[in-house]
Amino acid sequence: MEVVFGPGQCTPPPQGSAVTIGAYDGVHLGHRHLIERLRDMARQRGLSSAVVTFDRHPATVVRPESAPRLLTDLDQKLELLEGTGVDRTMVVPFDVARAEESAEDFVQEVLVDALGTRLVVVGEDFHFGHGRKGNVELLRAMGADLGFEVLGLGLEEDAAGEAVSSTHVRALLGAGDVRGAAALLGRPYQVRGVVVRGDGRGGAELGFPTANVALPDGIALPGEGAYACRYERPDGSRHAAAASLGRRPTFGGGSLGPEQVVLEAFLLDFEGDLYGESARVSFVERLHDDIRFDSTAALVEQIGRDVEAARGLLGEAEPGPRRVGDAAAGTPSG
């Protein structure tokens, strides 16, 4: 997949383009279905397929006070779009000037001049341009004059008849239903961050050394609690993990403070130093809510149960003898 940043960096293909436009946050199954239709129609007509998306969610500029938390950052979104088989993705910088641009100017600059568009495929509720005045009806009217066809598609629905949307995915995540979110995404929900140092209780005090994964700003998080997860290292190796996401009520937040949400992952049957590494944590199943324990011993017992539950859910074999309480066995918890 070719990636271009901005219409000024794009040369229209000689055969013309079939194009879809949107934030594409999460690249969920509804998005994938639309892109699949786009690719099929492009192939039938001998066109190049293209996705037009933005370097940030437009709401962060237009209404920052109510902008949604993102399901994917830009890098992950581009990785997922590449997996759809689309020929080209154009990333349009979205700033105040872009927010004030008329729908008509956007069509001319991006669709006509940069992409040589012959077909546009979008959701039937698609809006764009200043004041959200652009819609499918406007696209069709302009397309009749500028030489492109427009197809507006209805939203995909899940088994319960609810629309598959990024908003729906966020709601499921917020409720801790990571399995339901995965069903709409077509994959487990993943959070990415760098392993940082914390309070060091995990290995020395609790016997379960954990990777303390720094959480990026503006990213959607599952509801607080314990989860069975898959942890991926930069070398591509994947490890079963029991993870805690929350404010660590037993320790009052520790050095990070009582309101700081922390992601700590205990990698099953792993020994090594993870500090400074980039981590990818995929949430497979929720184990229980965030719990405050009256004693460290009670917390340790629960962590042990969580580890065994994660092992069973993730299909991991029982380990042989291993050391615990040693910083070398993993990264100490925050």
Vertex 199, ends 174 and 328: CA angle to 5°?
A: 105
Q: Say yes or no to pLDDT of 324 above 60.
A: no
Compute CA distances 40 → 23, 119, 125, 312, whole Å. Answer: 21, 12, 22, 41
Where in the chain are the domains? 2-153, 189-329
User: Which neighbouring-strand residues pair with 153?
Assistant: 123
Q: What is the number of other CB atoms lying within 10 angstroms of the CB of residue 319? A: 11
CATH class of the domain comprising 2-153:
alpha beta
Q: Say yes or no to pLDDT of 85 above 80.
A: yes
Among the ranges given (106-120, 204-218, 247-261), the one the predictor scored with the smallest mean pLDDT:
247-261
Percent of the chain scoring above 70 in pLDDT: 88
Q: pLDDT tier at 207 (50, 70, 90 boundaries)?
A: low
When mean pLDDT is compared over 115-124, 155-164, 291-300, the highest value belongs to 115-124
Q: Say yes or no to pLDDT of 323 above 80.
A: no
Q: Say yes or no to pLDDT of 63 above 50.
A: yes
Q: Measuring CA to CA, which residue among 260, 171, 249, 189 is closest to residue 26? A: 189
Q: pLDDT tier at 329 (50, 70, 90 boundaries)?
A: very low
For 301-319, the pLDDT digits (tens) are: 888 999 999 999 998 544 4
SS3 letters across 20-50: EECCCCCCCHHHHHHHHHHHHHHHHHCCEEE
For 171-188, the pLDDT digits (tens) are: 999 999 999 999 999 999
Q: Say yes or no to pLDDT of 79 above 50.
A: yes
Helix (H, G, I), strand (E, B) or coil at 292: coil
Cα–Cα distance for residue pair 126/152, rounded to 1 Å: 8
Instruction: Please report the pLDDT score of residue 301 as a whole number.
Output: 87
CATH of span 189-329: 2.40.30.30
Answer yes or no: are the C-beta atoms of 284 and 312 closer than 8 Å: no
List, in order, residues 6 or more apart from 145 with CB less than 8 Å away: none
User: Which neighbouring-strand residues pair with 267?
Assistant: 241
Q: pLDDT tier at 284 (50, 70, 90 boundaries)?
A: very high
Q: Say yes or no to pLDDT of 330 above 60.
A: no
> What is the Cα Rg of the chain in Å?
23
List, in order, residues 6 or more apart from 32 with CB less than 8 Å away: 84, 186
Q: Measuring CA to CA, which residue among 135, 165, 129, 148 is closest to residue 50? A: 148
For 222-277, the pLDDT digits (tens) are: 999 999 999 999 999 999 999 999 976 555 545 555 568 899 999 998 988 899 99
Cα–Cα distance for residue pair 12/18, rounded to 1 Å: 11
If 0-12 CB within 10 Å is exposed, 13-18 middle and 19+ buried, where does residue 37 land?
Answer: middle
Average pLDDT of the residues in 11-35: 96
Instruction: Please report the pLDDT score of residue 293 as a whole number.
Output: 77
Vertex 133, ends 132 and 134: CA angle to 5°?
A: 90
